[in-house]
Amino acid sequence: MNKSFAELKKKSILYLPVAAVAVLLLLILWLLMFVYLYDIPLYDAAGAASFRIFYIVLCCLAGFLAALFFHERSYAAFFVSLGICLLLVQGLILLGYRFEGMAGVGEGEEIERLDVISKGFWAEIPRIPLRLISVSTGDKGQSESCNVVLDGRAVEIEKGRDLVWAGMRIRMEGVRIAPLFILRNLAGEELEAGYIKLDWAAPVKPFFQFSILPHRFFVSLPDAPKERWMRSGKGWRPVDAQQDLGHRHEGKASFPSELERLHIMIMRGKLTILNKIVNKGERVEFDGHRLEFRNGAPWAIFVVKRVQSYYVFFAGVVLIIVGAVVKAIGWRKA
């Protein structure tokens, strides 16, 4: 029994590192190929199921080898294996627990729920106890800012500046105006109304819907750039440079302090029911209903990102250095 265990241990120490190197090379090749050759985002490439499984297999191999080396009293190899295991675990933590989300919050409102921008496979959507008290729209040459109560503490946040709370980085991306849309029937009775938080700077025209109607209300500023295509020879070409839809349209047009006119397009299925510029207070009719918009209320966009710690990484590096030192001392003694 002891002989077979010793034999198994000897073979494991010989062949497991080979298997670990094979897995490591595969994972590196996978990332190089998909991220650099085929422009797939790193998190998508590393989020693939087979990548994750074999990454965890590699962590386990490194940990198992560390235990074997410790049992064999090969302390240099033990420290190095354990250090490598910790580096891999750090990678898993970065991948698995990363989180980025955003929320639109009006004055007097709290962050109810974050919309996920990207999330690791183990990350949960965090609860941020933030209430927006007031907003400064940056009209008189000042930067946009807001006053919030975060976890019971009053704080002022300027646009683009980070606030760190409980391992989360909170940034106020900008202030917008949410127009008040009122839906009425033809008799003039109010059916539904609400402040609609529309991100004018979003690369795609925003839309909203009332709960009682199937119609989509596409709303934009009258001078906002539109996606347009024109014939060009036998093909087509986009008319404006802004049609690279990955970009946000920042600038003065993205945030007017007063909303006097809006371009409203109402669609139901494939049908365009209305497509015109509407003045504030003007009532427009569509499909047996009337719509108008009035002065809006300011709201702020918050982006929340998890701050990752690197303690495990540094611990891994220290252990590898310790392993190298132990090995050097061993050589010297020999």
Partner 1 sequence: MSDSMRNILIAFLIPVIVFLISAFVLDKDMVRYPFVSSAKGMEREKSAVIEAVRMYNKILTDFYSSGGKPALLNEFPATKAIKHGVFRDLGFITTMKRVLVYDMADMMPVDVRITSFNTAQAVVFEEWNYVYQRIEDRMPVSALKGLGQGFRYWLARQGGTWIVTGWTPVEVEEPEDKGFLF
Residues at the site binding partner 1, with contacts judged by CB under 8 A: 11, 14-16, 18-19, 21-23, 26, 30, 33-34, 37-41, 44-45, 48-51, 53-54, 57, 204-205, 207, 213-214, 218, 226-231, 236, 238, 245, 265, 267-272
Q: How far is the CB of 27 from partner 1 (least distance, A)?
A: 9
Residue 188 dihedral angles phi and psi, to the nearest 5°: 95, 0
Taking alpha carbons only, the member of 98, 97, 101, 99 closest to residue 116 is 101
Beta carbons within 8 Å of 189's beta carbon, 6+ residues apart: none
Amino acid 33 reads: M
Identify the helix (H) or strand (E) that includes residue 332. Answer: helix 311-333
Nearer to partner 1, 193 or 265 (CB): 265
Strand partners, 293: 181
Nearer to partner 1, 22 or 307 (CB): 22
DSSP state string for 142-168? PPPEEEEEETTEEEEEETT-EEEETTE
- Token representation of residue 224: 């906002």
For 67, other C-beta atoms within 10 Å of its C-beta total: 13
CB of 58 to partner 1, least distance (A): 9
Identity of the residue, 141 or 288, whose beta carbon is nearer to partner 1 in the bound complex: 288
Nearer to partner 1, 6 or 22 (CB): 22
Minimum separation from the CB atom of position 246 to partner 1 (A): 9
CB of 107 to partner 1, least distance (A): 29
CB of 222 to partner 1, least distance (A): 15
Residue (96 or 106) nearer to partner 1, CB: 96
Residue 240 vs 260, nearer CB to partner 1: 240
Query: Greatest CA span in the chain, whole angstroms?
Result: 99
- Output the DSSP codes for 109-125: -B---PEEEEE-TT--P
Q: Which CB, 165 or 218, lies closer to partner 1?
A: 218
Regarding beta strands 153-158 and 130-136, do their DSSP bridges make them parallel or antiparallel, or are they unpaired? Answer: unpaired
- 3-state DSSP assignment of residue 67: helix
Question: Is the separation of the CB atoms in 208 and 217 below 8 Å?
Answer: yes
What's the rounded Cα separation, in Å, for the pair 208 and 267? 11
Structural tokens at position 214:
């199937």
Min CB(51)–partner 1 separation in Å: 8
Residue 318 structure tokens: 């220290």
CB of 229 to partner 1, least distance (A): 5
Nearer to partner 1, 188 or 269 (CB): 269
The tokens describing 31, both together, are 């990332």
Smallest separation, CB 238 to partner 1 (Å): 8
Which residue number, 18 or 164, has a Cβ lying nearer to partner 1? 18
Beta carbons within 8 Å of 73's beta carbon, 6+ residues apart = none
- DSSP code of residue 254: G
Please state the closest distance from residue 214 (CB atom) to partner 1, in A. Answer: 4
φ/ψ of 152, rounded to 5, equals 85, 0
